[in-house]
Amino acid sequence: MSKVLLVGVDCSKCSNRALQYAADRAEVSKVQLIVTHVIDWSPFSFNTPQENEERHKRREAELDRAHKEIIDPIVSELREKSIFARGVIRHGHPAETLSGVAEEFGATNIIIGKTGSSKIKTQLFGSVANTLVQISKVPVTIVP
């Protein structure tokens, strides 16, 4: 079984530290690194068919933008360092989605930052890190 590391990124300082930690581990171990960005998106929305069509277009535009502005530059930089990296962007609940992506790609470890980009949301709803530790089927490394 080959080792695959997954790192969650959200453009926060803590996420950047997690990315560096994951990149260092991937480089030393010569393993694949899956760089994942999750766009928080609730499937629970009651819209008209027209609103759903517009929502789908917005969703696709968000995916394209996230690839161009977040994931593609990171993956390019990692590949320049000879790190086998792949970018993944998904919509969904961050912890659940990261866990699902880890399972999909056979990740043996998930690496995330302790604090993400939304401190207020964390205080209201709980942290991605706490939830991920509870639901993940693989070890989770939390970088301060």
Question: How many other C-beta atoms lie within 10 A of the C-beta of residue 103?
Answer: 13
Cα–Cα distance measured from residue 89 to residue 66, given in angstroms and rounded to the nearest whole number = 7
Residues (pLDDT < 70) of the chain are 1-2, 42-48, 52, 116-126
Domains and CATH numbers, the chain: 4-143 (3.40.50.620)
Question: What's the confidence (pLDDT) of residue 60?
Answer: 85
What's the whole-model pTM score?
Answer: 0.85
pLDDT at 2: 66
